[in-house]
Amino acid sequence: NWAHSARFFTTAAQLHQLPASELPEVAFVGRSNAGKSTAINTLAQQRQLAYASKTPGRTQHINLFHLGAKAAPDQVWTDLPGYGYAAVERTAKLRWQEVMAEYLAWRRNLCAVVQMVDSRHGFTELDRTLLEFVAPRVRNGEVRLLVLLTKADKLNRKEQAESLRGAQAVLAELATDEADIGVALFSSLNKTGIGDVSNILHSWALP
């Protein structure tokens, strides 16, 4: 239970501006509007935590939050800028790619990536591009990957099963003996998957 402990830690426009850290760091990524901010707030049991990432001037930043649960050691959550926003100009898109690629490839204490994918649409080309940034570290077991199929409340049972199968097929391409890859249906609205995902996040904080 992270409630009461989650707080804004720091923000940066580039990897080299982030303080070095030994704490296990979990990065949240996803297309704009996938439900990332809502999911972070729901998982942290705070209404406004990821609100910082939505303030003008910070939307293209790497925003870090510090989580300290009573029963588990500390953890840092990184909210990476949402991608795929249509109105963003070309140079800003290229910059986004650089920042994300750099962070995912080189952040030393990165232990896991949680990728939000809208359960109705599945992986888009940009989602796959992002996966490629972190793929080498997932394949060699250095970074875990958990894909959340968001807004699952909008799908019926059959559609949920199809969404899950589709995502599993994409993720199978990343599978190796070392890789730790998970996928779950998720809804901040009706709390689908919240308990399981919280437990997984907690387990990542353990040494």
Return residues touching ligand GDP (CB under 6 A).
30, 32-38, 82, 150-151, 153-154, 187-189
Q: Which strands, in side-by-side order, build the sheet including 110-118?
A: 7-12, 62-67, 75-79, 25-30, 110-118, 144-150, 181-185
Residue 1 DSSP label: -
Tell me the closest approach of the beta carbon of residue 130 to ligand GDP, in angstroms.
13
With respect to ligand GDP, which residue has the nearer C-beta, 92 or 175? 92
With respect to ligand GDP, which residue has the nearer C-beta, 128 or 169? 128
Tell me the closest approach of the beta carbon of residue 39 to ligand GDP, in angstroms.
7
With respect to ligand GDP, which residue has the nearer C-beta, 34 or 99? 34
Q: Are 63 and 81 in contact (CB under 8 A)?
A: no
Please list, in sequence order, all residues whose beta carbon lies within 8 angstroms of the beta carbon of residue 100, skipping any fewer than 6 positions away: 29, 80, 81, 83, 130, 133
- 133-151 as b/e: b if 16+ CB within 10 A: bbbebbbeeebbbbbbbbb
Tell me the closest approach of the beta carbon of residue 74 to ligand GDP, in angstroms.
24
Task: Retrieve residue 145's tokens.
Answer: 């990957």
Burial class from Cβ neighbours inside 10 Å (0-12, 13-18, 19+) for residue 191 reads: exposed
Angle between helices 125-139 and 90-106 (to 10 degrees): 20
- 30-51 as b/e: b if 16+ CB within 10 A: bbeebbbbbbbbbbbebeebbe
Tell me the closest approach of the beta carbon of residue 198 to ligand GDP, in angstroms.
15
With respect to ligand GDP, which residue has the nearer C-beta, 80 or 112? 80
With respect to ligand GDP, which residue has the nearer C-beta, 115 or 188? 188
With respect to ligand GDP, which residue has the nearer C-beta, 153 or 162? 153
Tell me the closest approach of the beta carbon of residue 127 to ligand GDP, in angstroms.
12
